[in-house]
Amino acid sequence: MNCPDESTYGNKADIISTVEFNHTGELLATGDKGGRVVIFQREQESKNQVHRRGEYNVYSTFQSHEPEFDYLKSLEIEEKINKIRWLPQQNAAYFLLSTNDKTVKLWKVSERDKRPEGYNLKDEEGRLRDPATITTLRVPVLRPMDLMVEATPRRVFANAHTYHINSISVNSDYETYMSADDLRINLWNFEITNQSFNIVDIKPANMEELTEVITAAEFHPHHCNTFVYSSSKGTIRLCDMRASALCDRHTKFFEEPEDPSNRSFFSEIISSISDVKFSHSGRYIMTRDYLTVKVWDLNMENRPMETYQVHDYLRSKLCSLYENDCIFDKFECVWNGSDSVIMTGSYNNFFRMFDRNTKRDVTLEASRENSKPRAILKPRKVCVGGKRRKDEISVDSLDFSKKILHTAWHPSENIIAVAATNNLYIFQDKVN
């Protein structure tokens, strides 16, 4: 599935900024820099086209956020969708949260295939009729019509964040959710839009003393009182809302001691955590920093259980990556449905998969050449110095403008969605 190539059209608004499957995997939502949400729906399997089961087609497109201007601070608020989170389906309609830098919205996406006809007080065009002309009473009827998918904003949660929102997470009680910015985390009830509870506040009294910011936050998948948040210093804090209303005192603190031999000017920047995700089981936390993905056991705070090198060949290139600002890129990471494989992005449209059981890893490429239907992805290798084999790519020829920051994994099947700038690729396990 491809959109127009950005290098050709140069349309920044089409750059995908978030990707998220719903709880069944039947729907896949993407948000972009232009404030739009595009929802794809999986095709139902047909008897004569069994192999087409994995195809996703556009289901609904709507404008979620518009650009705004904060007149008090003379700041533009861009419309870019930072995160999308689905709510579990309770009825025929779907609900999702989308957020830009300042405002979270709850959207209802529903289908209509019938329309009412035969009103008494209105004519067929919807104009009010003169009551004096109404002599008989009609019973309105529902007539079939072409299927329409409507997206309507049900709640708007605004004016609660001074800084840019980087995360939203739906609680397992499905009554509340949290939104996190650089210095604070707020807890919201879905029914109440005019107030939220501040549950974490790391803002110092004097901003000159600021040493770290919140980079990501997520609720535990099963325990509604527990959540984690990560920081730019490479630490993760687990908090329990039963302990106190303001969770400034963490319950657990996860940090890996730094190896003094690896200390450099860039150490602090590359240790900043860009994403944190609970495993589906709730037993583990996965974190992504610039060069690695780490898996932590909730019962062991002093070091990660597993560390996977995403692109260690870039360690010698940190200076130029700092100069072109790539060192500040925020890569996300995802678990597969059984928590046995993890996936995260890299440069040159590469993405990495690590099998936690076999310890095997693979580098794959999301590119137009590979996007022909049923084409099989070939593993890619990057060589550092020395002789380059025919199928390898040199670290010096990697394209740092092509980066995969956002990926998603189907909750129960081996189907993945990979956002490469403004192209969305959907890959699935080979079907015979």
**What proportion of the chain, given as a percentage, has pLDDT over 70?**
94
Q: What does the alpha-carbon distance between residue 225 and residue 219 come to, in Å, rounded to a whole number?
A: 8
Beta bridge partners, 419, equal: 406, 424
Looking at residue 376, its pLDDT comes to 81
pLDDT 10s digits, 190-245 = 999 999 999 999 999 999 999 999 999 999 999 999 999 999 999 999 999 999 88
For the chain, the farthest-separated pair of C-alpha atoms sits apart, in whole angstroms, at 93
pLDDT at residue 46 above 70? no
Query: What is the torsional sign of CA 367, 370, 376, 381?
Result: negative
Looking at residue 295, its pLDDT comes to 98
Which tops the pLDDT comparison, 147 or 157?
157
Q: What does the alpha-carbon distance between residue 179 and residue 193 come to, in Å, rounded to a whole number?
A: 13
Q: What does the alpha-carbon distance between residue 66 and residue 75 come to, in Å, rounded to a whole number?
A: 14
Looking at residue 72, its pLDDT comes to 81
Looking at residue 289, its pLDDT comes to 96
pLDDT at residue 55 above 50? yes
Mean pLDDT throughout 239-256?
A: 91
The CA-atom distances, in angstroms, between 315 and each of 107, 267, 290, 321, 379 are: 42, 11, 10, 10, 22
pLDDT at residue 8 above 50? no
Looking at residue 6, its pLDDT comes to 37
pLDDT at residue 131 above 90? no
Looking at residue 370, its pLDDT comes to 66
- Tokens representing residue 281 in the block: 């089981």
pTM of the model: 0.88
Looking at residue 348, its pLDDT comes to 94
Mapping DSSP to helix (H, G, I), strand (E, B) and coil, where does residue 51 land? Answer: helix
pLDDT 10s digits, 78-109 = 999 999 999 999 899 999 999 999 999 999 99
Query: What is the torsional sign of CA 215, 220, 224, 228?
Result: negative
Mean pLDDT throughout 338-362?
A: 96
Contact 315, 292 (CB under 8 A): no
Looking at residue 51, its pLDDT comes to 54
Looking at residue 54, its pLDDT comes to 65
Looking at residue 357, its pLDDT comes to 95
Alpha helices in 204-277 (DSSP H): 267-271
Looking at residue 128, its pLDDT comes to 86
Looking at residue 270, its pLDDT comes to 95
- Max avg pLDDT among 140-144, 244-248, 269-273: 269-273
Looking at residue 114, its pLDDT comes to 81
Contact 365, 398 (CB under 8 A): no
Contact 327, 290 (CB under 8 A): yes
pLDDT at residue 1 above 60? no
pLDDT at residue 389 above 80? no
pLDDT class for 343, splitting at 50, 70, 90?
very high
pLDDT class for 47, splitting at 50, 70, 90?
very low
